[in-house]
């Protein structure tokens, strides 16, 4: 069975400092992994997707994530935080063993950016 665990429910950084949002996954298959971002009272936007091509995945708005099979991790990083990055971030794994269309979401990490 697939699952994801987001290790921090809330992360706070200062503007201009690096961002690290941590995610561990469990999967019986070679996983497809995603990061989505949700601004307050908005829908979700896809940041990036890993599908076993390159282990370092570059996404939108300067974010990237590295797939580490040995650590079962898929952490999201950004070198320099911007105020507009304040949002909730979800790590997601595709549930190939279950219903097609079933994405399994982590509980989210809320990112705060201080001026």
User: In terms of CB distance, is 17 or 102 closer to other proteins?
Assistant: 102
Could you list the residues that contact other proteins (CB under 8 A)?
9, 32, 34, 36, 41-46, 49, 51, 90, 92, 94, 99-108
Residue 106 to residue 17: CA distance in whole angstroms:
25
- CB 80, min distance to other proteins, A: 27
- CB 98, min distance to other proteins, A: 8
Residue 6 to residue 75: CA distance in whole angstroms:
9
User: In terms of CB distance, is 5 or 15 closer to other proteins?
Assistant: 5
Q: Are strands 73-78 and 64-68 parallel, antiparallel or unpaired?
A: antiparallel
User: In terms of CB distance, is 18 or 98 closer to other proteins?
Assistant: 98
- CB 82, min distance to other proteins, A: 22
- Of 10, 25, 19, nearest to 92 (Cα)? 25
Q: Are strands 44-50 and 3-6 parallel, antiparallel or unpaired?
A: unpaired
């Amino acid at each position: 069975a697939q699952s994801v665990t987001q290790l921090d429910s809330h992360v706070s950084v200062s503007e201009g400092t690096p961002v690290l949002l941590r995610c561990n996954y469990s999967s019986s298959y070679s996983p497809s992994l995603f990061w989505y971002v949700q601004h307050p009272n908005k829908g979700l936007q896809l940041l990036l997707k890993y599908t076993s091509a390159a282990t370092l995945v570059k996404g939108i708005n300067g974010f990237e994530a590295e797939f580490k099979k040995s650590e079962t991790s898929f952490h999201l990083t950004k070198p320099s935080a911007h105020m507009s990055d304040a949002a909730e971030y979800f790590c997601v794994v595709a549930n190939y063993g279950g219903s097609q269309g079933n994405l399994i979401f982590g509980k989210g990490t809320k990112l705060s950016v201080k001026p």
